[in-house]
Structure 1
Amino acid sequence: GIGTRGPGETKLEVDRRKIRKRISFLEKKIYQIGVQRDTQRKKREERNIFKIALVGYTNSGKSTLLNAATDSDAYVEDRLFSTLDSTTRKLKIYPNSEVLISDTVGFIEKLPHQLIASFKSTLEEVKRSDLLLLIVDVCNTDFENNIYSVKEVLKEIGVWQKPVLLVFNKIDKLSRGELNSLKIKYKNSVFISALKRSGLPELYLRIKKMIERHYLNIIVKIPYNENKIMSFIYNNCQVLRRRDLVDSTILNLNVNSKYYSILSRYICRGRESREANIG
């Protein structure tokens, strides 16, 4: 049968053969996940969606935070790589705009290069995100080295330049004095207990502020014969107000800053902006 010894095989050789088969199976599964995720990401990028990725050392509480923030039931287990693929959910904290938050595989110190290659599909969520939440387990006495390890992996995959918010998790396990000391040392960070759902309002407020910096409010004037750009606007931007003129349409928009160059030639400026303002 499968897994039994062949002629002259030792138990060690049988075990190695089983491991090779398991690795081959997992590599195929990860490749399939990558193809599926790539299709999903392309669809998201066609729309005006702000994307958040949860990153952190393994068992830092990323999946627990995802569940708490989105009222979902992502798989949670206290083991290495319990989250193999990325789990993405909608986060309803910003009115009239879609926000997606993705859990990712837990990082480990000195992550082997072959594992980085294998987990490329899951780390793509990190590369495509607009904001990284670096989740830290304050119960781990070596958490500062863990932060360093995560930063090194983020640098290796080329995303450390992205906005990063440090989120200290499991603060319910700390004394008041320990928590105060941590807040003094990491002044610009957020402190939560995902399990107890404490500190989440402050986290949401910080996320909202970062989203607001990511978007622009502009006024554009679109001629009626520009059907393609009008379609683009309604598919990718938030239309706040609209006024139809004889030969064109004036739109107040909330738009992702990455679309500025596409819309720049239609933007009303100076006196034209004041005259066109419909708010």
Structure 2
Amino acid sequence: MTESNLPGDTDDVVARVLASADSKAAGYSLFRSGSAQALQAESAESHDGEGHDGAQLDREDRNALRRVPSLSTELEDVTEVEYRQLRLENVVLIGLYTHGTVADAENSMRELAALAETAGATVLDGLMQRRSKPDASTYLGKGKAEEVAGIVKAMGADTVIADTELAPSQRRALEDVVKVKVIDRTAVILDIFSQHAKSREGKAQVELAQLEYLLPRLRGWGDSMSRQAGGQVGGAGAGMGSRGPGETKIELDRRRIHTRMSRLRKQILEMKPAREAKRANRKRNAVPSVAIVGYTNAGKSSLLNRITRAGVLVENSLFATLDATVRKSTTADGRLYTLTDTVGFVRNLPHQLVEAFRSTLEEVADADVIVHVVDGSHPDPSSQLSTVREVIGEVGAREIPEVVVFNKSDLISDDDRLVLRGLWPQGIFVSARSGEGIEELLAEISDLLPRPGIRLDLLIPYEHGDLIALLHDQGQVLATEYAETGTRVTALVTAEIQPQFADFVVLPAVTD
């Protein structure tokens, strides 16, 4: 990293570029960021309000670019800088908040900073502006876009990331002003997904989402945008002199993308029967399922590992899990069930990804119980809770019994516990690291799982030991006696496995 990019030298450069910030008449204020982790930053300092009425403060707030505190993730250790410099790009974050509080907007920006870090970037700074609605041309407005261009040049950034999904025209116009690459929140999430997808189905889903995002954003220049007629044509202005090579490059790209998208949809559709067969097999064998859902990086995989020792990848990064992982577990009274780790959610999750990962989310819709994991140490757990419950509703799983779990309880203070208890009084505090609350969670899952409701008195010959094993795995054995002709068993079973015992019933079945 060059000297001009070091945090200590940047202040003087930025101060010269933004000298007008000292004047109130400039209608512009800038707040310098500190050095801390992106997701653990303190709230922005508020105006003291002395000498101003409410209207003046509101007008200043709308016209200001506010620097979000503690978004810088520049590396200070020289060895680490040299190691990571080759793959990291320097980025500046920008955002607007049209409603809500400053704290909400800053939490969204910190989340974007964490997304950028996960994608492999160094966040130099974050800037946001209060505005009634985004500018239709440059998102920020021409003047503020030029100010961002000065900051980008002073800090040596090579990418600007917007905390929204930019229209193609807004991205192009903003690039023309800031003179570096401009991407949006959706592009960052898609990039992370492409890095983390491991299975054949996961890779196909991510590529499909990327192509759907790319299609309206293809860009051509000059004559390459114009369709050229080929062969015999009719109509005014066509004919001799208008016959050319046919498709232009951008049209050819569009056709190739459409063809590739069709193939990917076909591949994903072909993978569906195998997935449905596995799910149907679990249903046929009456194995209840529990789906673990939650915000990205809330600790879902850690919780799965704690309960089942599954050995699933656990990483302190966003979207470390993209492929559904299914593991088996048993209740304290011996009932078998499956636990499914699903892809994490995030606010403003791109629509393309919700559609592309519909197959993964089917595991949630078909579950008997949903374990909703919330990061209790997050600055804004209520937004995590509402975002995930919104997606649960979208996949048609709102009626499924839900257990809300506040994870990372070892990092939660007593005051924060009171706040979380107010958000969801029935929530369970757990720590996948220390084991706190795990027994309480397992007991709650056991209570909510469907229980066998058909009582059978059976006499099973000794040569049918497989049926005894089935009763222990998928039913509930109440009593066992051994007779000369076989094993006398009283058990509770489900309707799915009841027909397998029809030949061995001693007394008529009784439904509890």
TM-score (norm 1): 0.71
> Kindly tell me: are residues 27 and 107 of structure 1, through their superposed partners in 2, closer, same or farther at Cα, counting changes over 3 Å?
farther
Confirm or deny that 1:81 pairs with 2:319: yes
Which moves more between the two structures, 99-108 or 68-77?
Answer: 68-77
The 8 Å contact of residues 457 and 490 in structure 2, kept in 1 or not, is answered as no
Aligned match of 1:267: 509
Q: Could you say if the C-alpha distance between residues 92 and 239 of structure 1 is closer, same or farther in structure 2, counting changes exceeding 3 Å?
A: closer
Distance 2:347 2:260 in 1: 23
User: What is the number of residues matched between the two proteins?
Assistant: 248
Aligned residues with identical type, % of pairs: 33
Relative distance call for 1:47 and 1:258 in structure 2 (3 A) is closer
**Higher mean C-alpha displacement, 29-38 vs 127-136:** 29-38
Per-residue CA deviation, residues 244-278 of structure 1 (Å, 9 max, x unaligned), is 9xxxx996332347889xx9xx5348xxx9xxxxx
User: Which residue among 412, 429, 434 is the counterpart of 1:196?
Assistant: 434
Whether 1:219 and 2:455 are equivalent positions in the alignment is yes
**C-alpha displacement at 1:29, in angstroms?**
7.7
How far 1:203 sits from its partner (Å)? 1.0
CA distance in 2, matches of 1:33, 1:76: 26
- Is the contact made by 2:457 and 2:491 (CA closer than 8 Å) also made in structure 1? no
SS of the equivalent of 1:168 reads strand
Q: CA deviation at 1:25?
A: 9.7
Alpha-carbon distance change, 70 to 236 in structure 1, aligned in 2, over 3 angstroms: closer
The answer to whether the aligner puts 1:128 opposite 2:366 as a matched pair is: yes
User: Is the contact made by 2:376 and 2:420 (CA closer than 8 Å) also made in structure 1?
Assistant: no
Q: How much has 1:140 moved relative to structure 2?
A: 1.8
Alpha-carbon separation, structure 1, partners of 2:447 and 2:309: 22
Deviation at 1:174, TM superposition (A): 1.6
Q: TM-score, normalised by structure 2?
A: 0.41
Partner SS for 1:267:
strand
Task: Say whether the 8 Å CA contact 2:456–2:492 is kept in structure 1.
Answer: no
Q: Which of the numbers 311, 321, 333 marks the counterpart of 1:95?
A: 333
C-alpha distance after superposition, 1:88-130 (max 9, x if no partner): 1112333332121110000122333322221122112111110
Superposed counterparts of 1:84-233, under 5 Å: 84-211=322-449, 214-220=450-456
Structure 2 unaligned segments of length 5 or more: list them: 1-223, 225-249, 461-466, 503-507
**RMSD (CA atoms):** 4.0
Q: What residue identity is the alignment partner of 2:451?
A: Y
Unaligned runs of 5+ in 1: 1-8, 225-230, 274-279
Secondary structure of 2:288's match?
Answer: strand
The Cα shift of 1:41 comes to: 1.1
- Kindly state the Cα deviation for residue 188 of structure 1 after the two structures are TM-superposed: 0.9
Residues 53-64 of structure 1 correspond to what in structure 2 (within 5 A)?
A: 53-64=291-302
**Contact residue 48 and residue 255 of structure 1 kept, 8 A:** no
Measured in 2, the distance between the counterparts of 1:76 and 1:87 equals: 12
Residue 331 of structure 2 contacts residue 446 of structure 2 at CA under 8 Å; is this kept in 1?
yes
Other-structure match for 1:228:
none
Helix, strand or coil: the match of 1:90?
Answer: strand
C-alpha change, 1:238 and 1:216, in structure 2 (3 Å) is closer
The CA deviation string for residues 169-210 of structure 1, in whole angstroms up to 9 with x for no partner, is: 111112223224433553211001112222211111211222
Q: Distance in 2 between matches of 1:28 and 1:101?
A: 29
Shift in Å, 1:82: 2.0
Q: Rg larger in 1 or in 2?
A: 2
2-side partners of 1:32 and 1:60: how far apart? 32
Q: Verify the 8 A CA contact 1:70 1:92 in the aligned structure 2.
A: no
Corresponding position of 1:253:
491
Residue 175 of structure 2 corresponds to: none
Deviation at 1:155, TM superposition (A): 0.9
1:56: Cα distance to partner? 0.6
The CA deviation at 1:147 is 1.1
Amino acid at match of 1:142: D
Q: 1:149 to 1:236 in 2, by over 3 A?
A: same
Measured in 2, the distance between the counterparts of 1:25 and 1:199 equals 47
The answer to whether the 8 Å contact 1:30/1:119 transfers is no
- C-alpha separation in 1, matches of 2:263 and 2:281: 28
Matches within 5 A, 1:6-25: none
Q: Would you say the 8 A contact 1:192–1:198 is kept in 2?
A: yes
1:68 alignment counterpart: 306
One-letter amino acid of the counterpart of residue 70, structure 1: T
